[in-house]
Structure 1
Amino acid sequence: MRRFFFFAWLALFASSFAVDTLEIFALRVQFLQESPDNSLTTGTGRFDSDSDTSNANYSLDPSGHRASAAYWQKHFDFANNYYKAVSNGNLVIKARIFPSGEPYTVDHYIIDYNRTAKKKGEKTAEFDEARSRDYMNFIWDAVTEANQSKDTLDNPFIVPQSKNSNTKRAFMIIHAGASRLLDGGSMGTNNADTQGDFMDVYVTQNFWSYLDSTDTTRNCAKDLNGMIIPNATFDTLKTMMVTSETASQDGLNWGINGTIVYQIGRELGMPNTYDVVQGISRLGYFDVMDFAGYNAGNGFFPVLPSAWVRSYMGWTKPVTVYPPSSGSITENIVAAGSGNGTEVVKVPLSSNEYLLIENRERSLGDSARIAVSYVPASDVAAEADYEIVTKVYPVDSLHVAFEDSTCDSKGKNCVKNKKKLNGVIVNLSSFDAGIPSSGIAVWKVNDWYLREGLPYGVANFWGGDTVRDHQYGIMLAEADGILSIGKTFKNALGQDTYDYGSGSDLIPHVRQGKDSPKDTVWSIKPSGYGNTATTTGGYTGITVTAKKAKGYHKEKTANAFMGDSVVNFAAASIPVTISWASNSLISGSEFPKNVGLNAAVRGAVALDYPEGMAVGEGEKLIVFGAADGTLQVMTASGSALMESDTTVKTSILSNADSTETVSLYRLGSSYGNLIGIAAVKDSVFSLHQKKGLVRTVLSSAIDQVQYDRELASLKAPVIGPMIRNGYVYAADSNKLYRFKTSNLSKVESFNLPQNFIPHDMALCPDGESDNIALVGRNAEMALYKGDEGRVQKLASPKIANQNWISVKKQSFRVACSDFDRDGRSEMFVLGSRGYATMVRANDSATVLFAPRSLKRGNDGKNALDEETSPIAIGDVNGDGYPDAVFVGYNLVYALDRSGVVLSGFPVTVTKNLPEYSFLSDPLVMDVTGDSLPEILIGTNGGMLMAFNSKGKAVTDGFPISAGNFEYGETVYPLTFFVDKTMDSLSTPQVYAFQRHSASGYNLAKASTHSDVMARSWSIPGAGYERSNFFDASKLPEPVASDSVESIEEFFVYPNPVRGGVANVRYTLGMNAKSTTLEFYDITGLCVFSKKLGAASKGANQADQLDISRLGSDVYTARLKVKFTSGKKKEKLYRVGVVR
């Protein structure tokens, strides 16, 4: 089964149409009669020909009349009753059985269409394709045979189409023989012996491509769209449902109702929810489109579609809840399919993931009893005046209606079940009778993954090595914390076995084993194995709790996987409380929010409300920009602040291909793609690629915001805006412009150095002068002197080795601070491929540390994308000195003033799929309340991650799924900022923007103490002015330590050294006049010596030492240091070299 689905899964196209009435024309088809009986198939190719079914206790779906139309009409009666119930009366199934007399007979044996062994020299892929072709040949032959007659009683394809637009027609083949799915029966899959039986496959449009166009006997017109039928009343046969005569075999009585319901579901557009590639269950007994669900109750009692499937089909409408001001909300959820109130509650987790909460009740009411209606075996072939018998069972005893034998509580002493029903089951009082137990099911839904799979008719497909372990379209949050559904285990016989779910997967429940304590589970919590985290592990802070309802009844079952006793508390309506932790989505907000347009990097600012507004007291408003340059405005909780002036439409997942209208709250139409955005007071400044600088001034319209705009034309701006002391700065390739913030018509311009192409700029004040450092192409540097009103070029640091570091093809970023705390500004320059250096921001351009190369972006050897994300600055380790923070290829760096990476860094961002091309800013902010700032990173996978000053990932409340994960080639950065936007909350908030979504979270443990904030860089660009300047004067004075002649740390890396290039790092307790590095071989001979020069107290580093002449061996490295005191010391380190 797995092999067949593996080569066919991409072809599982989901046909989709919304219908009120579905006409099903069913074709009974048999084969040439085998003589003698082929042992590889069940039966001889004719209906009722299996000797096993004649002698076994197959009292349900009995043998003897399966060739009759009346028999099958009763199965379709069940399907009609099922779909009328699950659709809340919106869908009717009408079936007509063809032909009017004996079944159609094709001119081949079963085995001709389903050979079981490869031919000599035939490859597996060729064998798989051949089997698919043979199967489609059967479909072709069956349809062709049915199309022979000119009588509408015998030819379904010439029956006139209904004139009612709400009536659609579909076709099903019912063929003689048994379903291969149950081969082995009660003896298990290891005893399967009829491999020639058919699988019950739903034929989609793409399957027709398997037909052999060179087959002259069939004259197949190979058409990807379907089968063209001569003289038919429709153009093309595109899909075909297929089901076997029986599922019972090898001593196991199994029903066909589930298969028929499932096939109709596929025709209606319901996707497979099991893994069609691996052939394993994903949703277990809790969804009819999972094979476990449609085979529930031994195939006689298919269960309801899960909450998402019913919502997708339009049969139920979820009620969406957002975090209220109180932090929790309670909803009474009625039984699924009852239509008596709210059946599904939707809880957003991120912009493309959410929970669906539903009440699954086996008995559909508080009676705890299930009525089963059936036509007795004596009447199954009767076309009229047949008896329908109804029996009522306690919910805990329903199994006696369909099981062959009954056993004691230990599963032993089994005897023939004399209370088992006979005939054909046609109705149930509850179509969730087949689920393991009743209770609240909490589903996780991944909208992106569903969008990827639905075009192929699947919701949970095997995603390959990249995303297979953590991405599903729909999954059940298993309340017991044992994630066993969809996993493979071995039973005592060594056979593969699976858990398809139990009452312990629902809430509330009590579980108690023989040797284990009583375990009562009321909630699905934010952490643990069964949790409310997103599929990528993002923290949500959401807890879903269900309590015993009034009038509940107990259902006692067993956990088949664990063997524990499980008690569930069922009710027609169960109160469920959804609560949000204080460090989750902002209470009273509308987040996550679809804002309609894709976000821009550094595209959001928070401002005070304009004077005179009747709303917004104690809050800030947020202006955010889209990549296309559109600015919008909202409150700090995501609400509207003005009338929408236009809308956009976005698609939503539904069988009807629906769209939703998203209102835009624009501050005017776009002036073109956005370069940057800055703000001061009531003004927002946006720089647009082809238009120039725009000033948007906000003002009050009582309870709404209004605005005025002013444009300063610039033909081709490249960097900016940056605000400082009443001026806003921007630059093109020729000049730096300085505009008055109050009037853009007042502008000055300053020529840039010749051939200087600016990439970035930063404020680097020198006393009272507002100097601005600029970095450009080839790492060239320039300095705008505010007191002189001119731009001068600075000398670039010399590169020691052009072979290992190049400035060509890199783009550059710059940020400034007084890194060494001497009262003068330094500029830290960073390249997109790892170039890094620090120089004094004055005429001298004194080099604090020489250019070095770090792993960042494309290194020229690997095809990695450029890393153009900006720099952040903060006192990460609390030593009183600013540190530079930035990201590399799946790495986070923190460098001190000497260019040495802080202890614990660089740290790997993700252990699985690497993150790169971040584009957006890292931030430095204390989010744990320990008085030391953490580094916040926004990944393109939508995760907001935090790392402490030691380089350890913060796991308390992090990572946050602030955006969304979508695996693809286009990069959509997650841009975010931290600010205190609400006086009603004691701690700051973080706002994140990715694609067309906006989210806001409360950072409940974050510190806003002035000393802590002085160490922070909580807003991209160091603030909404985008100065890229960190004011080190606000830091506490560095604690001076006594100078001691010591070598505190010394090592060579990487170890072992490969490629002949080594780096050395060492920490000194006193300034040194000279340092020397030597390598000795095992004989004690010095084979390498390098003078490293003078060194400073603290951490030091020497990069790219050429030791390529050394052979493979283990060497002793010796660091010799002569301190300024005159004392000498040395330290040894063992290092391997691999050539």
Structure 2
Amino acid sequence: MPTCRFLLLFSLIWARLVALDVFIDPVKGFRKIAVIRVSFQPDDSQGTTGDGKFLLAQNTVSCGNYTIDRSPHDKSYFESQLQAVDSYFRNVSNGHYGIDLDSSQVFPDGEAASYPLDHTMDYYHPYGETNEVYEQKLVELFRDALFTADSADAVPFTDYDLIVVFHAGIGQDFSLPFLDPTPEDIPSTYVDREMLGEPIFNVEHGIILPETQNHLLFDEAEDIFTDPAESCDYQFGLTGTFALMVGFAEGLPPLWDTETGESGIGVFGLMDQGSNNGRGIIPSPPDGWTRIQAGWTMPSLVTPTSEVLLPARSMQDSIIKVQIDDDEYFLIENRNNWFRDNVNIDSVRYAIYDNTDDYPDYVEVLFDSVDISFDENGVVTSVSSYDLGLPASGLLIWHIDESVIRTAPDEYSINADRERKGIDLEEADGAQDIGYPNIHLFTDPTSGYFGDMWFDGNLEYETVNGVGPPEFSPYSYPDTKSNDGASTFLSIENISVPGDTMSFTVSNTFLVDGFPDTTAFIRTVYDLNGDGVNEVFGGKD
């Protein structure tokens, strides 16, 4: 027992040391945000959504109690949006980061007030212009908002950590399954120092967001949808977009190719398409590497041969690290999308369809069945687990290559090369779909789907690897080779069925039996004393 104890403690110490090799600054503390509400000159342009003013009338959408982010969009509504993004970050950061709601402020002070700008909405995103012009116009919008707020109320911008400009209308952010009739809507944007140029009132960066992402709240929905009453499943919440932009502002790197728009990690992380999980109400937590770099959790180094019991992230944010070489390693996390034992949102929808031939909207099941919190403004202000929007439950196995991260031209380029990403998801179905063109007739796995997660019973894995408990090994598809093609001899095998705790074995096929002592095992990984560092529990029979 003493020998095994020493080995496990050594692993913990090494985990603490390797975590100090950081690529982004720790993201900790609670930010004070100034929200600036701006409206536009009235217009009847067919290229934009709305008339340039905030939606202040009571909600009349036919989705009834299942309406996302219903109007009126007044001061209280935006305070609710702050609360929603605060709940998200406090949850996924394990309490290390969030919004200081008491010190944050929505301007102007009047419940239905906003700062009117001198231009119509389409002025700030004119159709058919170059990217350079688009960027100039977005910066102009941010500048105009700050100057107008200063002129009207002398807003003390330097009292706040982040400035968020909310404008009337909807965001040019989603690719809907039809031609977009309003191409001059304004895209949500993080305005960084390079874009902004010289600071304005000592403000060096900020965010531009729409009042909502729900098209159904506007009259233009009648042009977009054949029957808006049957289109409630196309609603999207604002929390995901808001969280994504805050991630940018805090230095979390985007993990898609920002030049081409191709996905890098898909729906499995905030800083890619995961920001829109759960119809924008349940954005995915950041990937394991980003959470470690932000200082929100610590990895536990596991060496062959070890048996591991790994709790779900929503229970205990534990991440296993398996070293390949000086630059490369695997990160393994257990992500679970159940809101009851073996029950997730999509499984409920399928069950209802089987019994009634009626396939309910996602939002209906979410609002009726899941532990979520609403406030008096109808905004979903918190969710019990932000893994509920994932397509399945199981292990996510990340292949990290710090040489790619270290040599990337900038923080926006970590996953720019889809052939060698800095943060790559090992997709359990054996195909490298994420970020590649879709070649499938009836499905689209290019942003990630259930088959990418590792669990016993994954039929997509079995299609290419055969029936049995999954293993990620030198002989599986995908395999455990390093990025230069060398065999690592590592195997992650005997992967269990999904659960609040999942088990697997880490082994090395190159090691001689008995070296090291294979009777040593890891029972679980848990932060026993609450100091933010996971303890590894194990021993020998």
Please classify the TM superposition score into its range, dividing by the shorter chain length: 0.7 to 0.9
1:297 is aligned to 278
1:278 is aligned to 260
The one-letter amino acid of 1:157's match is: F
1:28·1:173 contact (CA, 8 Å) conserved in 2?
A: yes
3-state DSSP of counterpart to 2:28:
coil
Choose the corresponding residue for 1:350, options 309, 325, 334.
325
Change (3 A) 1:75 1:483: same
The superposition leaves residues 758-807 of structure 1 with CA deviations (integer Å, 9 ceiling, x where unpaired) of xxxxxxxxxxxxxxxxxxxxxxxxxxxxxxxxxxxxxxxxxxxxxxxxxx
The superposition leaves residues 492-537 of structure 1 with CA deviations (integer Å, 9 ceiling, x where unpaired) of 69xx955322332222232448x97984452111244422212232
Choose the corresponding residue for 1:76, options 77, 82, 85.
82
Q: Which has the higher strand share?
A: 1
2:124 pairs with 1:113: yes
2:502 is aligned to 574
In structure 1, how many angstroms separate the alpha carbons of the residues matched to 2:347 and 2:105? Answer: 31
Unaligned runs of 5+ in 2: 1-22, 216-223, 225-230, 368-373, 518-541
In structure 2, how many angstroms separate the alpha carbons of the residues matched to 1:92 and 1:396? Answer: 27
1:17·1:269 contact (CA, 8 Å) conserved in 2?
A: no
2:264 pairs with 1:264: no
1:15·1:267 contact (CA, 8 Å) conserved in 2?
A: no
In structure 2, how many angstroms separate the alpha carbons of the residues matched to 1:16 and 1:198? Answer: 30
2:448 pairs with 1:501: yes
2:29 pairs with 1:20: yes
Choose the corresponding residue for 1:474, options 414, 423, 442.
423
3-state DSSP of counterpart to 2:32:
strand
Tell me how far 1:56 sits from its aligned partner.
Answer: 5.0
In structure 1, how many angstroms separate the alpha carbons of the residues matched to 2:451 and 2:330? Answer: 19
Change (3 A) 1:395 1:265: same
2:177 pairs with 1:204: no
Change (3 A) 1:469 1:287: closer
2:160 pairs with 1:178: no
2:334 pairs with 1:359: yes
1:511·1:520 contact (CA, 8 Å) conserved in 2?
A: no
3-state DSSP of counterpart to 1:149:
helix
1:429 is aligned to 384
The superposition leaves residues 969-1008 of structure 1 with CA deviations (integer Å, 9 ceiling, x where unpaired) of xxxxxxxxxxxxxxxxxxxxxxxxxxxxxxxxxxxxxxxx
1:488 is aligned to 437
2:91 pairs with 1:85: yes
Choose the corresponding residue for 1:38, options 33, 45, 53.
45
3-state DSSP of counterpart to 1:499:
coil
In structure 2, how many angstroms separate the alpha carbons of the residues matched to 1:275 and 1:368? Answer: 37
In structure 2, how many angstroms separate the alpha carbons of the residues matched to 1:44 and 1:491? Answer: 40
2:522 is aligned to none
3-state DSSP of counterpart to 1:456:
coil
Tell me how far 1:72 sits from its aligned partner.
Answer: 1.5
2:18 is aligned to none
The one-letter amino acid of 2:238's match is: I
3-state DSSP of counterpart to 1:143:
helix
The superposition leaves residues 367-419 of structure 1 with CA deviations (integer Å, 9 ceiling, x where unpaired) of 428xxxxxxxxxxxxxxxxxxxxxxxx4245776xxxx998369986567866
Tell me how far 1:92 sits from its aligned partner.
Answer: 3.0
> Quick one: percent identity of the two aligned structures?
23
2:200 is aligned to 228
3-state DSSP of counterpart to 1:199:
coil
Write out aligned runs for 1:387-402 (5 A).
394-397=343-346
In structure 1, how many angstroms separate the alpha carbons of the residues matched to 2:175 and 2:56? Answer: 16
In structure 1, how many angstroms separate the alpha carbons of the residues matched to 2:420 and 2:459? Answer: 32
1:544·1:579 contact (CA, 8 Å) conserved in 2?
A: yes
The superposition leaves residues 738-773 of structure 1 with CA deviations (integer Å, 9 ceiling, x where unpaired) of xxxxxxxxxxxxxxxxxxxxxxxxxxxxxxxxxxxx
Tell me how far 1:50 sits from its aligned partner.
Answer: 11
Tell me how far 1:309 sits from its aligned partner.
Answer: 0.8
The superposition leaves residues 1000-1059 of structure 1 with CA deviations (integer Å, 9 ceiling, x where unpaired) of xxxxxxxxxxxxxxxxxxxxxxxxxxxxxxxxxxxxxxxxxxxxxxxxxxxxxxxxxxxx
The one-letter amino acid of 1:443's match is: W
2:309 is aligned to 332
Give the paired residue count: 460
In structure 1, how many angstroms separate the alpha carbons of the residues matched to 2:146 and 2:347? Answer: 40
In structure 2, how many angstroms separate the alpha carbons of the residues matched to 1:331 and 1:418? Answer: 38
Tell me how far 1:583 sits from its aligned partner.
Answer: 6.8
Tell me how far 1:491 sits from its aligned partner.
Answer: 6.9
3-state DSSP of counterpart to 1:450:
helix
Tell me how far 1:331 sits from its aligned partner.
Answer: 2.3
1:472·1:535 contact (CA, 8 Å) conserved in 2?
A: no
Q: Which has the higher helix share?
A: 2
3-state DSSP of counterpart to 2:41:
coil
1:65 is aligned to 72
1:177·1:245 contact (CA, 8 Å) conserved in 2?
A: yes
Tell me how far 1:332 sits from its aligned partner.
Answer: 2.1
Change (3 A) 1:86 1:133: same
In structure 2, how many angstroms separate the alpha carbons of the residues matched to 1:144 and 1:543? Answer: 59
Length-normalised TM-score, structure 1: 0.38
Tell me how far 1:156 sits from its aligned partner.
Answer: 4.3
Tell me how far 1:137 sits from its aligned partner.
Answer: 0.9
Tell me how far 1:360 sits from its aligned partner.
Answer: 0.7
2:11 is aligned to none
Tell me how far 1:205 sits from its aligned partner.
Answer: 1.4
1:42·1:50 contact (CA, 8 Å) conserved in 2?
A: no
3-state DSSP of counterpart to 1:358:
strand
* Pair member with larger Rg: 1
3-state DSSP of counterpart to 1:448:
helix
3-state DSSP of counterpart to 2:189:
coil
In structure 1, how many angstroms separate the alpha carbons of the residues matched to 2:212 and 2:347? Answer: 22
2:142 pairs with 1:139: yes
3-state DSSP of counterpart to 2:415:
coil
Choose the corresponding residue for 2:353, options 401, 405, 408.
408
3-state DSSP of counterpart to 1:574:
strand
2:288 pairs with 1:307: yes
In structure 2, how many angstroms separate the alpha carbons of the residues matched to 1:132 and 1:352? Answer: 36
In structure 2, how many angstroms separate the alpha carbons of the residues matched to 1:543 and 1:76? Answer: 44
1:157 is aligned to 157
Change (3 A) 1:116 1:28: same
In structure 2, how many angstroms separate the alpha carbons of the residues matched to 1:50 and 1:113? Answer: 25
3-state DSSP of counterpart to 1:72:
helix
Q: Let me know the Cα RMSD of the aligned residues.
A: 3.3
The one-letter amino acid of 2:37's match is: R
In structure 2, how many angstroms separate the alpha carbons of the residues matched to 1:15 and 1:60? Answer: 38
In structure 1, how many angstroms separate the alpha carbons of the residues matched to 2:467 and 2:459? Answer: 6
Tell me how far 1:582 sits from its aligned partner.
Answer: 1.3
1:29·1:175 contact (CA, 8 Å) conserved in 2?
A: yes
1:508·1:546 contact (CA, 8 Å) conserved in 2?
A: no
Length-normalised TM-score, structure 2: 0.77
3-state DSSP of counterpart to 1:570:
coil
Tell me how far 1:63 sits from its aligned partner.
Answer: 3.7
3-state DSSP of counterpart to 2:353:
coil
Of 534-543 and 405-414, the range deviating more from structure 2: 405-414
In structure 2, how many angstroms separate the alpha carbons of the residues matched to 1:336 and 1:478? Answer: 19
Tell me how far 1:306 sits from its aligned partner.
Answer: 1.2
3-state DSSP of counterpart to 2:173:
helix
In structure 1, how many angstroms separate the alpha carbons of the residues matched to 2:254 and 2:289? Answer: 12
Tell me how far 1:300 sits from its aligned partner.
Answer: 1.0
3-state DSSP of counterpart to 2:255:
coil
Unaligned runs of 5+ in 1: 1-13, 119-126, 162-168, 209-222, 230-235, 370-393, 462-467, 549-568, 590-1139
2:108·2:153 contact (CA, 8 Å) conserved in 1?
A: no
Change (3 A) 1:418 1:508: closer
1:60·1:424 contact (CA, 8 Å) conserved in 2?
A: no
Choose the corresponding residue for 1:99, options 102, 108, 112.
108
2:445 pairs with 1:534: no
The superposition leaves residues 312-361 of structure 1 with CA deviations (integer Å, 9 ceiling, x where unpaired) of 101111112334xxxx1122222215337xx1111111221110011111
